[in-house]
C-alpha cells in the first residue's frame, strides 16, 4: 500500500460519511501500534507528531520511521503534523515530507494574525501539494511552554465560513465542547453548533480531544460532519497501565505488552469511527 495524503483519505471519508482516526506518536512503539491496529481492522489511518512532542523524539527520528512504516503498511496511511505553532516547525514538517500539516494559530495575539499566517501557509502548502489544517475557536486542555493551559472557546459558524474563505485552509478543527487530555467533567458536545458549522463550510471538519468521549459522541459528531478525529491520551493511558502494573517485568517485555495495549486502544476507535473494513 502506498503512502497516502490526508486529503485523499478525508475525501473518501467525506463522500461516504465516516470518520478517520489521527494518532500522535513519539516513538516507534506507537507508530507500530497504530499501524498494526489499522491493519488488523483493515482501516485507513493518519499518524503524526506534534510540535510539543518533538522534545521526546525529533523530526529526524520520527519522520523517517513514520514515512517508512506508512509505505510498508498493508492499509492506506497518511503522515501529518499536528499542532504546529511556529512557522519554522511547519516548514520543517513540509521538508520532511508530511502530506499535510496543522498550523494552530489559536495562540496568536489576535484573530487577524491567525488569518494572515494561515493564509500565507495555505499558499505555501498548496504550491507543494500539501493540505493545511487550521483551528478556529480553541479546543482547550493543551499547555504552552510556560505551562499556561489553552482555554476553550467555541467555534462560531459564521466566523468559520469567513476563515475558510480568507485563508484557503483545507481542513478545519472545530471547538464544540471537546478538550485535550483527561476530562474533568463529562463532556457535553454542542451538536447544533456542529450542524451550523457543517452547513457553513464545505471542507472536512476535525474533532480534537477524541479521548474520553462516548460511543454516542462519535456517532453523533460523525453524523454531524466530523471526518477526522484526533486521539492521543487514551492510547498513552493504555500503555501507562501496562508499564506501571509490574515493576519487575523486563523492560523489553513491558514495551511489547504496552505496544499491544496501544494497538487495542487504537483499534477500538477505528471500529467506532466506521473506517474499519475500508482499507
Q: Which residues are near ligand 13P by CB under 6 A? A: 24, 82-83, 180-181, 208-211, 230-234
In the complex, minimum distance from the CB of residue 208 to ligand 13P, in angstroms, rounded to a whole number: 3
Instruction: Name which of 144 and 253 has its Cβ closer to ligand 13P.
Output: 144
Place of cell 512532542: 53
In the complex, minimum distance from the CB of residue 72 to ligand 13P, in angstroms, rounded to a whole number: 25
Cα end-to-end distance, the chain, whole Å: 9
In the complex, minimum distance from the CB of residue 172 to ligand 13P, in angstroms, rounded to a whole number: 14
Q: Catalytic residue at 82?
A: yes
Q: Where are the alpha helices (DSSP H) in the chain?
A: 6-16, 28-40, 59-72, 87-96, 111-127, 157-167, 191-200, 215-223, 233-245, 251-273
Instruction: Name which of 21 and 279 has its Cβ closer to ligand 13P.
Output: 21
User: What does the DSSP 8-state code read for residue 248?
Assistant: T
Residues 217, 34: Cα–Cα separation, whole Å: 22
Residues 47, 56: Cα–Cα separation, whole Å: 16
In the complex, minimum distance from the CB of residue 252 to ligand 13P, in angstroms, rounded to a whole number: 27
Instruction: Name which of 15 and 184 has its Cβ closer to ligand 13P.
Output: 184
Instruction: Name which of 162 and 183 has its Cβ closer to ligand 13P.
Output: 183
Active-site position among 24, 82, 150, 217: 82
Catalytic residues: 82
Amino acid at each position: 500500500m502506498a503512502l497516502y495524503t490526508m486529503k485523499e483519505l478525508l475525501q473518501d471519508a467525506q463522500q461516504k460519511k465516516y470518520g478517520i482516526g489521527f494518532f500522535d506518536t513519539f516513538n516507534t512503539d506507537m507508530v507500530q501500534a497504530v499501524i498494526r491496529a489499522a491493519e488488523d481492522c483493515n482501516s485507513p489511518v493518519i499518524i503524526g507528531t506534534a510540535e510539543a512532542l518533538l522534545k521526546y523524539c525529533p523530526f529526524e527520528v520520527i519522520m523517517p520511521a513514520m514515512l517508512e512504516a506508512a509505505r510498508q503498511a498493508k492499509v492506506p496511511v497518511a503522515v501529518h503534523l499536528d499542532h504546529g505553532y511556529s512557522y519554522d516547525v511547519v516548514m520543517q514538517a513540509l521538508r520532511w515530507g508530511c502530506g499535510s500539516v496543522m498550523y494552530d494559530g489559536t495562540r496568536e495575539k489576535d484573530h487577524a494574525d491567525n488569518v494572515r499566517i494561515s493564509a500565507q501557509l495555505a499558499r505555501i502548502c498548496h504550491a507543494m501539494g500539501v493540505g493545511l489544517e487550521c483551528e478556529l475557536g480553541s479546543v482547550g486542555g493543551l499547555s504552552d511552554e510556560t505551562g499556561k493551559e489553552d482555554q476553550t472557546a467555541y467555534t462560531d459558524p459564521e466566523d468559520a465560513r469567513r476563515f475558510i474563505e480568507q485563508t484557503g485552509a483545507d481542513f478545519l478543527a472545530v471547538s464544540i465542547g471537546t478538550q485535550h487530555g483527561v476530562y474533568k467533567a463529562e463532556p457535553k458536545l454542542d451538536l447544533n453548533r456542529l450542524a451550523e458549522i457543517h452547513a457553513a463550510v464545505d471542507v472536512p471538519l476535525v474533532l480534537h480531544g477524541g479521548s474520553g468521549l462516548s460511543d454516542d459522541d462519535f456517532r453523533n459528531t460523525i453524523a454531524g460532519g466530523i471526518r477526522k478525529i484526533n486521539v492521543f491520551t487514551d492510547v498513552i493511558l493504555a500503555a501507562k497501565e501496562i508499564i506501571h502494573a509490574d515493576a519487575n517485568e523486563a523492560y523489553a517485555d513491558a514495551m511489547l505488552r504496552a505496544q499491544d495495549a496501544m494497538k487495542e486502544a487504537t483499534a477500538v476507535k477505528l471500529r467506532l469511527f466506521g473506517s474499519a473494513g475500508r482499507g
